[in-house]
Amino acid sequence: MTKPPKTPSAPMQTIVGDGGETHQTAATPETRITSNHGVPVSDNQNSLKAGGRGPTLLEDFVLREKIQHFDHERIPERIVHARGSAAHGYFELTDSLAEFTRAKVLTEVGARTEVFVRFSTVAGGAGSVDTPRDVRGFAVKLYTKEGNWDLVGNNIPVFFIQDAIKFPDLIHAVKMEADRGYPQAASAHDTFWDFIGLMPESTHMIMWAMSDRTIPRSLRMIEGFGVHTFRLLNDQDEATFVKFHWRPKLGTQSTCWDEAVKIAGADPDYHRRDLYEAIDSGAFPEWELSVQLLSQAEADALPFDILDATKLIPEELYPLRVVGRMVLDRNPDNFFAETEQVAFLPSNLPPGIDVSEDPLLQGRLFSYQDTQLSRLGTVNFHQLPINQAKGCPFQNMQRDGQMQTQVFKGRANYEPNSLAEAGEDGGPREDPKGGYRSFAQPMEETKVRLRSETFADHYSQARLFYRSQTEIEQAHMATALVFELSKCVFEHVRLRVLGNLRNVDESLAQRVADGLAMKLPAKSAAAAEPQDMDLSPALRIVGKYPQTLEGRAVGVLVTDGADGAVVAAVKKAVEAAGGAVKIIAPKIGGVKLKGGDLLAVDGQLAGTPSVLFDAVALVLSEAGCAELLGEGAATDFVKNAFGHLKAIAFTAEAKPLLDKSGVETDPGVVDLAEGAKAFIAPAATRQWAREPKVRLLA
């Protein structure tokens, strides 16, 4: 029989797992953590589980009280993911997984399932901007024939923490600081980095958070991940581990950091507007659904624990299998009724899809349901139209409650009952064969509060992610770390993070230290020595997205007297390549072209800067250019386009404006005398080779 772990002789406050002995302090009755009712807490780091890798136990009142209190902190705005945008669409299965699951949504090829998808930022409130450096939520509600399936994830495949009991601490740390109420929607402050430095398990996620994936170009160009490991169950109740991935048809694309900051000022609703307008114009966003499938034996052979939400499975080890596609083809009719009132629950699973013992997922199964009771104010939130099961009927013996909208008939409100024997309606019955069944996972463990030793390696995958990036992306990550840490007032916070970074990559740690003008501290102690893994080019962005103008926008700056034929040629070439064109002019009323024709304008120069476009063209007259030389908005339009590595096309008359804006000749600066088609290839991508000319990177 397994002996229970020894209880420490004196109460200790454990702050961090790696090198924990350095961050433990004896707790006194005045300083120790207690429950809301005064019960001392022995371990504030780990949920109570049936064994180190077992499921979290419902009896863990410390976990339940902590998360429940956290879920009810704010009303009615979501505590996290408050700023969201959404759309309706459908999922179509293209490859059956009948060998692995009995879930009809994953076995009936060709069938279309209605979906509602909500994208969101995490840290900011509902009134924050769209473009901060932040993780993006990617939540999909599929209205299947067997009930709703909510695949509630992010655009990052891993997470900051391993155990749900730390989620309130994570969000308290990243939210605006409690005494001053700022910064809003930003992680560049002391409390966040203090927490990160003390939680080495967050290091892998930090590499992703400091990458370009957290400053996306568009919601249409982000990946989606289920984050956790789930199980598929077939008709024989045989289990297969599964990871879910959404891959955008347009490729994963991002902005430059300076560009993201300026977009926030120019258009705080940039991503929301982009998604709405794309769907409204018929350019429907599309994603592939892919899976990674592993048997128990294959999962056991991995050099990390598949139940650890801070880890991913490299595609080079287990390639993605494409099984379907999702298309968003309809905007919400009412933002509040749909986008705001939609309630996602990781516990919404059809028969044939099951959870794993991932301790982060186990906590979410409780937390999301509890949150909806606070936000929507009633146990009947499932009756709101956006939350109702649509592919099948829903009925049970749950009755009454605030905002009950169903009118139940008959006397049967309990089960089992024998009223049918008297000729009355006995109501719904359980379905042992077709109903939801959980995987029969055998377990016989001692109740413990501990982190499995298989969760102890906090740095190997962070190292894998960083070293798998291109030089461009590595420079961006180092620069992002310098920016974030430069906002931290406390030196010891910066030093601790630098010490952790030495476990990821020495050159990265040195770059960040040099960028902060700080001496590199000693390497932080690691609970498990980091291992070098085979590089994974699949983790990159640069060089992977399609070189196309599809889904992109080109801003054409035009002045009075400009050549209309050139404007028309640019518009024709861009639209033929799948891009959209917006005409920008000094005044919104229109432009009088050479020959007297009036050209309609989509945006006024001062209010429509180049940060809103993927490439720009300058079609100016000589007199129009002369006027713009004295206009700061014009030089900013050109200077920012060049600085943000965008292609710039120009007529000969526009050359003085290029010169004043500091534009140097490179392959992305195209003279329209060569023809509008010469502009298309450079406009379809960023001019990465230009970056060293326009900004200093760490």
**DSSP class of 529:** -
One domain, residues 322 and 230: yes
CATH of the domain at 470: 1.20.1370.20
Which of 539, 561, 578 is the last residue in one of the domains? 539
C-alpha to C-alpha distance for 542 and 552, rounded to whole angstroms: 17
| Tokens representing residue 221 in the block | 């160009």
What is the total count of domains within the chain? Answer: 4
pLDDT at 23 over 70: no
My answer on whether omega of the bond before 76 falls inside 30° of 0, hence cis, is yes
Inside any domain, residue 405? no
Inside any domain, residue 102? yes
One domain, residues 581 and 531: no
Which of 360, 383, 406 is the last residue in one of the domains? 383
- Nearest of 208, 213, 258 to residue 545 by alpha carbon: 213
One domain, residues 148 and 253: yes
Inside any domain, residue 195? no
CATH of the domain at 93: 2.40.180.10
One domain, residues 677 and 587: yes
One domain, residues 521 and 569: no
44 in active site: no
One domain, residues 589 and 669: yes
C-alpha to C-alpha distance for 564 and 688, rounded to whole angstroms: 32
Domain containing 39 equals: 1-43
One domain, residues 485 and 559: no
- Nearest of 692, 686, 580 to residue 259 by alpha carbon: 686
Whole-number percent of the chain with pLDDT over 70: 96
Inside any domain, residue 422? no
pLDDT at 22 over 80: no
| Catalytic one of 46, 81, 271, 331 | 81
**How far, in Å, are 62, 127, 204, 265, 556 from residue 645 at the CA level?**
51, 30, 28, 19, 17
One domain, residues 526 and 567: no
| Catalytic one of 46, 88, 148, 154 | 154
One domain, residues 477 and 528: yes
Which of 472, 506, 539 is the last residue in one of the domains? 539
Inside any domain, residue 510? yes
Q: What pLDDT, on a 0 to 100 scale, did the predictor assign at position 445?
A: 87
In this structure, the chain runs to a length of 698
One domain, residues 572 and 497: no
Strands (E), 494-596: 553-558, 580-585, 591-592
3-class secondary-structure state, position 166: helix
Inside any domain, residue 370? yes
One domain, residues 96 and 136: yes
One domain, residues 9 and 114: no
Measured at the CA of 287, the angle between CA 114 and CA 186, to 5 degrees, comes to 105
The tens digit of pLDDT for each residue in 587-642 reads 999 999 999 999 999 999 999 999 999 999 999 999 999 999 999 999 999 999 99
The answer to whether the Cα torsion of 185, 188, 192, 198 is positive or negative is positive
Inside any domain, residue 434? no
The letter for the amino acid at 497 is: V
Q: What pLDDT, on a 0 to 100 scale, did the predictor assign at position 395?
A: 84
The letter for the amino acid at 315 is: E
3-class secondary-structure state, position 276: helix
69 in active site: no
C-alpha to C-alpha distance for 438 and 237, rounded to whole angstroms: 9
Lowest-confidence segment of 47-51, 228-232, 301-305, 617-621 by average pLDDT: 47-51
Inside any domain, residue 437? no
The tens digit of pLDDT for each residue in 39-92 reads 788 898 899 999 999 999 988 988 998 898 888 776 688 999 999 999 999 999
The letter for the amino acid at 636 is: D
CATH of the domain at 683: 3.40.50.880
The tens digit of pLDDT for each residue in 487-542 reads 999 999 999 999 999 999 999 999 999 999 999 999 999 999 999 999 999 999 99
